[in-house]
Amino acid sequence: MSKYELVAGLETHVELATKTKIFCSCSTAFGGEPNTHCCPVCIGLPGTLPKLNKKVVEYAVMAGLATHCKISEISTMARKNYVYPDLSKNYQISQFDMPLCTNGWITLSNGRKIRITRIHIEEDAGKLVHSHGKTYVDYNRGGVPLIEIVSEPDIRSIDEAKEYVEKLQLLMHYIGISDCKMEEGSMRCDVNVSVRPQGSSQLGTRTEIKNMNSTSFITKAMAYEYDRQCDLLDSGKKVAQETLRYNETNECTESMRGKEDADDYRYFPEPDLPTIHVTPDWVEKIRMQLPEDPTERTKRWTEKLGVSETDAQQLICYRNAADYFDKSVKGLKSGKAAASCILGQIFRRMETEKDKENFSPSVTPENFSALLKLLDTGKIHMNLVKSTLEKMLDTGKPYHEFLSEKDLAGVDDKQLEALCKEAMAKNSKAVDDYRAGKEKAVKALVGYVMKTTHGRADAKKAEGLLIKLLA
């Protein structure tokens, strides 16, 4: 065990999925030709006045409620002053002493709570583009609405940091306020790292690693920075408070500038925007619209419906698919088959991540549920569910268009035994191969039974009986 403890806190910027920017009507769509999604307001030309997008406040409140924050009835905007090429006004409109959301938390799988100090709204800056030895500025991103989620320095390991980011990413995407695509910059983190002797309660000097846009880079940067700070302390040197960047090529952190404090930004109240008033009634209305917490939802699936942890974690990533699943399993004893079919057969027909996000299969959840009820009551087996579902997905028609009364009658034990003996009699090579030690040869015999019964037999039961007869 190292004699030093890692201490970390994250400032996570989440780009909100509004159609227009925070203070003007310019598009927030990703991409586009440089400097085509901007106007006099978002580039701060003299004489222009910002107007706050109400949807931004609503989305921020949703984020606050989802992370157990207290929602402030009164909050204000402030000017954060600094000079940088991507900030055309030379200040950023943000929040300072009166943020919209305070005192929340995210619970990790180990039971530890990572406290959230605040969530505030602000505008994004433009983007610097480095090409052919020159630097250009694209202001399309300038004025895109953000929330900044600031945690307390409660993270004690790289694994905790990774889980915290992943849980935030899932939650913000799940409630529908952001696509959280880190590779496109719609979610990025500033990681504050310090170390201290094991058992100490005093915080060490922190460094801030800016604009991390993947969990992989976050973990690598934190690992490097932890080792770097430990080496400095071991050699009798001090850690300097500074802002760092992560060099992806060399897999190391590099100094950008001295770390700023709040005083360095000369915050003052934004004179062109009124105070934000959020009524308790409006907050409650927003709360009622929030979906079930994804962690609680997966817990319900695994504990009450028998869904595997792996399947639950895959399914919860797609809100529409999760809603479809819940409608499909209503009144059923088990959700295993539904999860398997959605993640296997239905997802297989969806070519892109966007298709999975939208999740609009040709089979309605009601028709899918009717098919699953036949399985739930033992009238048909899983193999017949899968073959019937394929036909339903091809046509959009309900199961009774493809299943007859004979199909629903199933195959009794006496019939199954007779069919297994028939399979053995007509497939002597498979029998000989199995008895010679080729255990997979039994699959050919099972296939014969399933083909003969048009999928009505229980494949697992047939295999067990065949193995017994072949012994």
Number of other residues whose CB lies within 10 A of the CB of residue 336: 18
Report which of 99, 64, 59, 104 is spatially closest to residue 78, judged by C-alpha positions.
Answer: 99
- Give the CA distances from residue 211 to residues 75, 189, 208, 233, in Å, rounded to whole numbers and listed in that order: 26, 5, 10, 26
Q: Which long-range contacts (CB under 8 A, 24 or more apart) does 26-31 make?
A: 26/143, 28/144, 28/145, 30/184, 30/186
Cα(227)–Cα(223) distance, integer angstroms = 6
Q: Are 123 and 41 in contact (CB under 8 A)?
A: no
Per-residue pLDDT tens listing for the chain (471 residues): 679 999 999 999 999 999 999 999 999 998 889 999 999 999 999 999 999 999 999 999 999 999 999 999 999 999 999 888 889 999 999 999 999 999 999 999 999 999 999 999 999 999 888 888 899 999 999 999 999 999 999 999 999 999 999 999 999 999 999 999 998 889 999 999 999 999 999 999 999 999 899 999 999 999 999 999 999 999 999 999 999 999 999 999 999 876 666 567 889 999 999 999 999 999 999 999 999 999 999 999 999 999 999 999 999 999 999 999 999 999 999 999 999 999 999 999 998 999 999 999 999 999 999 999 988 887 788 888 998 999 999 999 999 888 776 666 566 677 777 777 888 888 888 877 778 888 888 888 877 777 777 667 777 777 887 888 787
Q: φ and ψ at 194, to 5 degrees?
A: -145, 165
Q: Are 392 and 345 in contact (CB under 8 A)?
A: no
The pTM assigned to this predicted structure is 0.84
CA 44 to chain centroid, in Å, comes to: 34
Cα within 13 Å of Cα(470), Cβ side:
30
Domains of the chain in sequence order: 4-284 (no CATH), 291-409 (no CATH), 413-470 (1.10.10)
Number of other residues whose CB lies within 10 A of the CB of residue 342: 23
Q: Are 65 and 31 in contact (CB under 8 A)?
A: no
Q: How far apart are the first and last CA of the chain?
A: 55
Q: Are 121 and 56 in contact (CB under 8 A)?
A: yes
